[in-house]
Each structure stands twice: as structure tokens, then as C-alpha cells.
Amino acid sequence: MHGELEIVARMGFIFAAAVVLALVLSRLRLPPVLGYLLAGLVLGPDALGLVERDASVEVMAEIGVTLLLFTIGLEFSTGELLRSWRAVLLAGSMQVVLTTGVVFVAALIFGRSPESALAWGFMIALSSTAVILRLLDARGVTRAPHGRLAIGVLIFQDLCIVPMMLALPLLGPSGGDAGSLGGVLLRAVGVVVLTLLLGRWVAPWAFTLVARNKDREIFLLAVLAVASLVAMATAVAGLSLALGAFLAGMVLADTRYSHQALAEVLPLRTVTMCIFFVSIGMLVDLQLLMTHPVLVFAFVTVAIVIKAQVTFGVGLLLRFPVQVAATAALALAQVGEFSLVLAQESVRVGLID
């Protein structure tokens, strides 16, 4: 019972702090997501220490990202994704390759080894899917031209996470098994193709049967079952849960029940996404910020400038309007949560200290 009370108290502190700070920032016309991040900073171990970033918080945070990507996928049917191929394949690949290349050269100039420089390039190239989608959704511009461009690049970035994770051990001092890379990529492609085929032929029939029952609880359970099972399948294949959830949303987007599914899932997504951003705020190391403020500020500024300029240039090369390219570039300029995963793996294999 003691452990259960701790979890309830932890959730209570998180929601209370998030509400207060989000209300304050809304008065200043700032997005609520900043309030959630500040709530994590205030509640975390470096400030009040009321909440620890333990397993229960991390699980809820992962569910939040999964539901966010699922709801975004509900607005992108297979046909719409194919029509966005220019943003996904061309803009995404150019943004990742060019950003990695620029950071690679910069890291070499600052004395890093080629292997370590490439690891840094991987980390800086990725953006935060959760942050960008939450901000686009809050402003209602997910389907706007700059929203589609940003989401297309994010989809390609998520696809790149797997080969990046597999490449890091190969770059380390001990090396690794190069054959595993091809096997995982083949499984990943197979799962993606199978998921899209299920969305085309099986999902409409299955949800027609569920909808005939006219029971909202059963319908919600069916929606969550699809999201969970597809996300699990992609994770087993080596892709991220977030990408699997996006594919699951696309499965339902090809049915006439996508709007009903979105309405049922939104309240759950709001709660879990709040916990996700609070958990990210808890990672901020105030002691490090106070000890090395110039170094941290300089590093963050350089990373943002590099990513913004590269993405803006890619948008112009692909003949997107200047305003669309600039807005998408600013959205994608930050570094994402998966970069933390790549950083941990780089430390483990000896690429960074």
C-alpha cells in the first residue's frame, strides 16, 4: 500500500504543478508544454525533489508519446502519406544526411575521432517528435504545409533511429556484428508493409463489426488494442514504439471510424503527454547549468543554428515557399528525446565519455 500511495502522490504533484504553471504561461501566451517542462524542473531532484523519475513515470511518459503518434497517424491515411513522399523521402533524407555531415565536420575540427564525430552527428540530427507534434497540434496546423513538411522529416528521422542504434556498436572500439544491421532492416520493412496492408484490407472490416455493437467502451478497447499490438510488432522488429503507434493510426485512418477513434483517445493522450513532458523536465541538471553556463549555452546555440540552417536550405532546394521552409526549420531546430537514447548507447560502446 505504501508504494501505491507514493505513485498516487507523485501523480498528484505532477498534475497540480502542471496545471498551475500551464495557467501562468497561458496568460503570457506561451504554450502549455513549457509549463509541463517547468513542472518537471521544479518537482525534480535538483529543485524540490518531490518526484523521482522512476519506472512508473517513465512508463507513463512512453505511453504518452505512443498515444500522441497514434493520434497523428489517425490524420494521415496511406494515400496522404504517399502524397507526402517528397517531405518524407527527399526532405527527411537530406535533413538527416546534411545535419549529420555538418556536425561530423565540426566535431572533427574540435578534435573528436571520426567515429565519435559520427555519433555526435547522429545525436544532433534527430528532433523531438513529441514536442513538435504537440505544438503543431495545439495550433491546429498539423495539416498546414509547414506542418506536413515537419512531420515528413520526423517520420524519416524515426526510421533512421534503428540503423543509427545498430551502427553505434560497429563504430565503437570493440566493433560489432555488421550482419545484424541488414537483418533488422529487412524485418522492419516487412512489418511496415504488412501493417499498411492490414490497414487497407482488414481494419475496415474489423471495425465495422465492432461499431455495429454501438458500445463506446468496446470501441475504445478495440482502438487501444490496434495501437498496442502494432506498436509492439514494430518494436519487436527493431523500430521504435512511437513509429509503430503512428502506423497503427494510419491503419485506422483508412477506415470511416478515424474521427470517432480520435475523439475517444484524446483524453488519455492529454494526461499521459503531460507526464511525458514533466519527465523530460526532470532530466535538467541545474548544477551543470550553473557550473558551465557559457559552454551549455554555446553548445545549444550552435546545434539550433546548424539544424535550422540545414533544414531551411533543404526546404528551399525542394522549392517549398520561403515561409513554409523557415517555419519548419524553426520547428525542427531542437534536439529530440531519442538523442538521449543514442547518447547512452554511445557512452556504453565507448564513443563518448
pLDDT digits (tens, 9 = 90+) for 51-84: 776 666 777 777 777 777 787 777 666 666 666 6
User: What is the predicted pLDDT for the residue at 107?
Assistant: 93
Q: Which residues of 336-347 are buried (b: 16+ CB within 10 A; e: fewer)?
A: bbbbebbbebbe
- Report, as an integer, the average pLDDT of 179-188: 65
Q: What is the mean pLDDT of the chain?
A: 81
In a domain, residue 46? The reply is no
Report how far residue 73's alpha carbon sits from residue 130's, in angstroms, rounded to the nearest whole number: 13
Q: Is residue 182 part of a domain?
A: yes
Residue 207 CB contacts under 8 Å (≥ 6 apart), including other chains: 222, 252, 255, 257
Helices 179-201 & 145-171, crossing angle to 10 degrees? Answer: 150
Q: Tell me the pTM.
A: 0.70
- Alpha-carbon gap, residue 71 to 221, rounded angstroms: 15
pLDDT in tens, 110-163: 889 999 999 999 999 999 877 787 788 778 887 788 888 888 888 888 778 767
Residue 301 confidence class, pLDDT cut points 50, 70, 90: very high
Q: Which residue has the cell 550553473?
A: 290
Q: Is residue 158 part of a domain?
A: yes
pLDDT for residue 4 is more than 80: no
Q: CATH no. for residue 118?
A: 1.20.1530.20
What residues have CB less than 8 Å from 183, skipping those under 6 apart? none
* Nearest by Cα to 38 from 47, 7, 292, 29: 47
Residue 55 within a domain: no
Domain that residue 126 falls in: 74-275+295-348
Q: Is residue 289 part of a domain?
A: no
DSSP state of 351: S
Q: How many domains does the chain have?
A: 1
Over range 319-342, report the average pLDDT.
88
List CB contacts of 169: < 8 A, sequence separation 6 or more: 175, 176, 345, 349
In a domain, 133, yes or no: yes
Cα 169 from Cα 345, distance rounded (Å) = 8
Question: Could you tell me which residue, 122 or 8, shows the higher pLDDT?
Answer: 122
Residue 41 Cα to chain centre, angstroms: 20
pLDDT for 316: 92
DSSP secondary structure of 168-210? HHHHSTT---THHHHHHHHHHHHHHHHHHHHHHHTHHHHHHHH
Residue 175: predicted pLDDT: 62
What size, in residues, is the chain?
353
Residue 4 buriedness (CB in 10 A; 0-12 / 13-18 / 19+): exposed
Residue 39 lies in a domain: no
Angle at 87 between CA 99 and CA 245, to 5 degrees: 95
User: Residue 179 — pLDDT band, cuts 50, 70, 90?
Assistant: low
**Band of the pLDDT at 280, cuts 50, 70, 90?**
confident
C-alpha cell recorded at residue 41: 524542473
Name residues whose C-beta falls within 8 Å of residue 216's C-beta, 6 or more positions apart in sequence: 264
Given a cut of 80, whether residue 297 has pLDDT beyond it is: yes
Can you give the pLDDT at residue 1?
44
Q: What is the pLDDT of residue 53?
A: 64
d(CA 193, CA 225): 19
What pLDDT score was predicted for residue 184? 63
Q: Cα separation of 55 and 52, whole Å?
A: 9
173 vs 25, higher pLDDT: 25
Distances (CA, A) of 12 to 8, 61, 231, 276, 285: 6, 15, 29, 15, 23
Domain membership of residue 23 (yes or no) is no
